[in-house]
Structure 1
Amino acid sequence: MLAVAAAVLALSFSAGASSASTPADISPYASQAKQAGLTATQTAALQGEVGRYLAQTGGKQVAANVIDLGGKHLMFVALPGEAHPRDMTNGVLADPCALPVAYGYFCAYSGRNYTGTPIPMWKCALYRIPWTANGSWINNQTTGTVANFLDNNGVSGWHDSGAFSADDDAPWYWVHWVKNC
């Protein structure tokens, strides 16, 4: 845990160290996005997407496309129009929702077939789901751990059959929260 925190801190300082401000310098992570091959337009679109997720889910941006939701919860944001998040950290941070999903996690995806931006859920908690279109999810928590899908009133409208389980075409329109345990 300490190693991850140190890596995030180092990444934040190195990514934020840019000199002159240009239109491509949308965020302190613009140089990181440029190193990943993003254009200024793509960088702006990605930062806009990250900004929307920060407003909806909270957390702190720690890399060009990574939001720290606290603890072991690193949310990797996909560039608009791309099926999966890119690794813009050069392997310094690992996406627990990259396929195959890391053991112990429940991952909710913005797109069908485990695509788009995933929300990793590790600690037993209530997680905000910011999507309204169909997406997908994978429950790879400890065997038998059941996830509950709650509406905007916090009422459980459905629960899965327990880990391991998955749905490649899940309707998020009514789901406002997931309690992963």
Structure 2
Amino acid sequence: MGIGSLRSRLVVLLSVMALMGVALVAGGARASAAGIDRAAFVALAREAGLSGEQAAGLQEKVDGYLGKLAGSGTQVSPNQIELGGAVLNVAVPGENGPRPLGDVSATVENAGECNGWTKYGWFCAYKYKNRSGDNIGMYRCGYYDIPWVTTGSWVNNQTTGTEPMMYYTNSGSELLPPAYSYRDSGVNWRVVDRIRNCP
């Protein structure tokens, strides 16, 4: 079965669960739908060539991020979380950075815009130094939570002169250098709460 076919099955399953949710207790409906989402994304990851262990490990990472984001993100592929103007790309456990797994979601402009480079118009936050590890690609103006506590990097390749604002957990903030700019190491994400990628 191809990835397109699995994606079609996922859409059908989610539609059925949405209809069933009308007749079920809200809490039970959400739990059932979440279980089907999880299983479908794991199946898509397997179809994309991951082993059962890799697919399960990847879904655990995604689940962890969804928990930290507390409702502000929606899983749209085996390794993508849509953030309403940004996309969090998740690497398969043991790999240096995210890679495409199946079709890019229609709700995400392009999931690979932060994989090693940053397309013009984007701000990319990387979990680790030298633009590696999981990343968040911000393509629309907004506030985006940083869900990791590592030492990483960022690239600001937005419209020339755009200055993002970094907000800290201690309620402080810092205006970052205007585009084009970058910091390939030493970014202490542990103290960062969120980023507004535009003025």
Residue in 1 that maps onto 2:182: 166
The secondary structure found in structure 1 opposite 2:156 is strand
Please give the TM-score of this superposition, normalised by the length of structure 2: 0.73
The secondary structure found in structure 1 opposite 2:67 is helix
Name the amino acid aligned to 1:152. T
Larger Rg: 1 or 2? 2
Contact 1:32/1:64 (<8 A) preserved: yes
Residue in 2 that maps onto 1:59: 73
> Which of residues 120, 132, 150 is equivalent to 2:149?
132
Residues 10 and 141 of structure 1, relative CA distance in 2, 3 Å threshold = farther
* Cα displacement (A) at 1:90: 4.3
Q: State the superposition RMSD in angstroms.
A: 2.5
5+ residue gaps in structure 1? 1-8, 19-24
Residue in 2 that maps onto 1:79: 92
Residue in 2 that maps onto 1:28: 40
Contact 1:11/1:62 (<8 A) preserved: no
1:180 and 2:192 matched: no
Contact 2:83/2:144 (<8 A) preserved: no
Which of the two has greater helix per residue? 2
Contact 2:77/2:104 (<8 A) preserved: no
> Which of residues 138, 142, 151 is equivalent to 2:159?
142
* Cα displacement (A) at 1:154: 3.5
* Cα displacement (A) at 1:135: 0.8
Residues 165 and 102 of structure 1, relative CA distance in 2, 3 Å threshold = same
Give the count of matched residue pairs. Answer: 165
* Cα displacement (A) at 1:15: 4.9
* Cα displacement (A) at 1:26: 5.5
The secondary structure found in structure 2 opposite 1:167 is strand
Contact 2:125/2:155 (<8 A) preserved: yes
Contact 1:78/1:116 (<8 A) preserved: yes
Whole-angstrom CA distance in 2 between matches of 1:10 and 1:104: 33
* Cα displacement (A) at 1:171: 1.6
Residues 125 and 38 of structure 1, relative CA distance in 2, 3 Å threshold = same
1:47 and 2:63 matched: no
The secondary structure found in structure 2 opposite 1:98 is coil
Contact 1:15/1:30 (<8 A) preserved: no
Residues 15 and 32 of structure 1, relative CA distance in 2, 3 Å threshold = farther
5+ residue gaps in structure 2? 14-36
Residues 10 and 150 of structure 1, relative CA distance in 2, 3 Å threshold = farther
The secondary structure found in structure 1 opposite 2:39 is coil
